[in-house]
A and B are shown apart, each in its own frame.
Chain A
Amino acid sequence: MISPIVYVALATILFFLGGAGFLFRRNVLVSLMSIEIMLNATNLALVAFNRLHTDSHTGQMLTFFVIAVAAAEVAVGLAIVISFFRIKRSVRTDEADLLRN
């Protein structure tokens, strides 16, 4: 069995890649996908930790709910993207200045 800490290291790399993509990219679709990468990385870490305590499914259960919340988040996020595109004709995050006076 591969030590779960190897999985956690991989999850950390994926999480920081996703975060860097979120910080660097200005396409709002790519930003949403970067958030998905970060959520997937945390899910992987949770499942890896659950492998150490096999008497319950707590980590896997939390992963299940994270997946449900991610689905809801993507649905609302993409609706906001479409609504934003309708107003600004753009998907760039720096054009989202509707609240600036």
Chain B
Amino acid sequence: MSTDIWLGWTYFILCALFALVGALATISSANPIRGAMGLLMMILSIAGLYLSLHAQFLAAIQLIVYAGAIVVLFLFVIMLLGPSAQAPSDSRARFPRAIGAGLFLLLGAGVVSWLVMLGQHISKETARLAAAGTWKPATVPSDFGGIDAFGKELFTKTLVPFELSSALLLVAVIGAIAVARSKHGDGAEKALPTAAALTEATPKEEASV
């Protein structure tokens, strides 16, 4: 039993560490490709955390939709934009932005410390109630989070939102085409960076790296 708990904590800490490193890489890397790789790392570790929370179906969906579609879409756009996807670093207004982000992180630290206190309180209360015999941990049905139980609930209780989400995805696809399409009909060669722009931009990128 204790080895089970130990293994669970090891798995959780590994996944959490990878998720945090991935998120940090995403928000701090100058090269967007590296950022997308960090995002992929975070998405994979969150899929692992879903597995430990009895959400197998969602872990699969996370891999298919996030890792398989969203990250690939990001990479596709980054490579379409070429070297100009990496904006040259500019120190203008860096200080106010840093203050804003720092205050936001401070708020986050406050929330996390409140959660830690709440967790201590909860563990104390559950230990007291378990000792009194009035509390026992929630039992997990064997099919909880599996595709059977999930699908049954999806197509009964949340059928209307499911159909509405299909409409939303259709509208999003049409909207994306309408927004990204060039106004001049054949904007393909204008949209892609020309060879001259590429050769002009490459030394700049090397210099910044």
Contact = CB atoms under 8 A, between A and B. Distances in A.
Contacts, number: 240
B3 interface: no
A24 B101 contact: yes
Interface of B: 8-9, 12, 16, 19-20, 23-24, 26-28, 32, 35-36, 39, 42-43, 46, 49-50, 52-55, 57-58, 61-62, 65-66, 69-70, 73-74, 77-78, 80-81, 84-87, 90, 93, 97-98, 100-102, 104-105, 107-109, 111-112, 115-116, 118-119, 122-123, 137-141, 144-145, 149-150, 153-154, 157-158, 161, 165, 168-169, 171-173, 175-177, 179-180, 182, 187, 190-191
A15 B84 CA distance: 28
A16 B104 contact: yes
Dominant secondary structure at the A interface: helix
B84 to A, nearest CB: 7
Interface string A62-87: 01110111111111101111110110
Given A37-B39, A47-B50, A3 B172 contact: no
Given A12-B115, A54-B144, A61 B158 contact: yes
Contact of A37 (B26, B153, B190): B26
B180 A24 contact: no
Interface of A: 1-10, 12-21, 23-27, 29-30, 32-34, 36-37, 40, 43-44, 47-48, 50-54, 56-57, 60-61, 63-65, 67-76, 78-83, 85-86, 89-92, 94
Nearest to A63: B58
Dominant secondary structure at the B interface: helix
A2 to B, nearest CB: 5
B89 to A, nearest CB: 9
A86 to B, nearest CB: 6
Interface centre among A6, A10, A94 (most CB of B within 10 A): A10
A4 to B, nearest CB: 8
Given A67-B66, A90-B87, A79 B20 contact: no
B153 A82 contact: no
Contacts of B100: 23-24
B66 A65 contact: no
